[in-house]
Amino acid sequence: MNIASVEDDLDQGRLIQTILGNAGHDCALFATGTDLLAALSRQHAFDLLLIDWELPDISGLDIVRWVRGNLGQTMPVMLITNRTLEEELIEGLQAGADDYMCKPIRAGELVARAEALLRRYMPVQQQSSFQCGAYEIDPAAEAIMLQGRKIELAPKEFELALLLFRNPGRLFSRDVLSTAVWNREIPATSRTLDTHLSNLRRKLQLRPEHGLRLNSSYALGYRLELLGDNLDPPTP
């Protein structure tokens, strides 16, 4: 996805760009709010805006208000801020931000929050059914089919499966998976994530004969691998 980040601290901006780049996204950096607004005024298309609240020229809240007033509600916006007071965060959301993230930046949380917003605003065509291995996934119906049979999954199991099916070959850390699906980090001592992954492996029959394998490493993370003749990424 094509993401724009406005951040006057060059080191912070590069960190954000690196984190998102490692997650497979393009991230354009802007040092001032004026530069970002100029790009948006030229109809530069972005899928997500990350806006630092404190900028040298324009308040991040004013940028959010401009976006909502001129571009409507179709572009997701996340504020990145040092502010932690509840009333200030409420003010940011009331100005039109969809979400916020408090500094210091944490890689897993940034990717999970960004991708959650991208999914929320995903165009309808990207919600259509797609194939991955021997499976047909229908996000709109929250259904996964194997050999014509719908596999019954709990809601969080489906969210977790959908994330993996959309990203075969990508290594997910525990923190990224837990934040993306449960919107919080799950303590290392909890078995919640492991139980859900075990359920998916069993219910979905993630075996080589179905073109997929779920690899797990407690230290590194989890990856859904395409096997054999299924090496092309899933297509809608």
Reply yes or no on domain 127-230 having CATH 1.10.10.10: yes
3 CA to centre of own chain: 11
Provide the token pair at 118. 């991208």
Whether the pLDDT of residue 229 is over 60: the answer is no
Angstrom distance (rounded) from CA 27 to CA 215:
29
CATH superfamily of 2-120: Response regulator (3.40.50.2300)
184 pLDDT band, cuts 50/70/90, is low
Identify the burial level of 236 via C-beta atoms within 10 angstroms of its C-beta, where 0-12 means exposed, 13-18 middle and 19 or more buried. Answer: exposed
Q: What is this structure's pTM? A: 0.57
Gyration radius from the chain CA atoms = 19
Strand order in the sheet with 135-138: 130-132, 135-138, 143-146, 149-150
Provide the token pair at 35. 């530069």
Domain with CATH 1.10.10.10 in the chain: 127-230
Close Cβ partners of 110 (under 8 Å, ≥ 6 residues apart): 16, 19, 20, 101
Percent of the chain with pLDDT over 70: 89
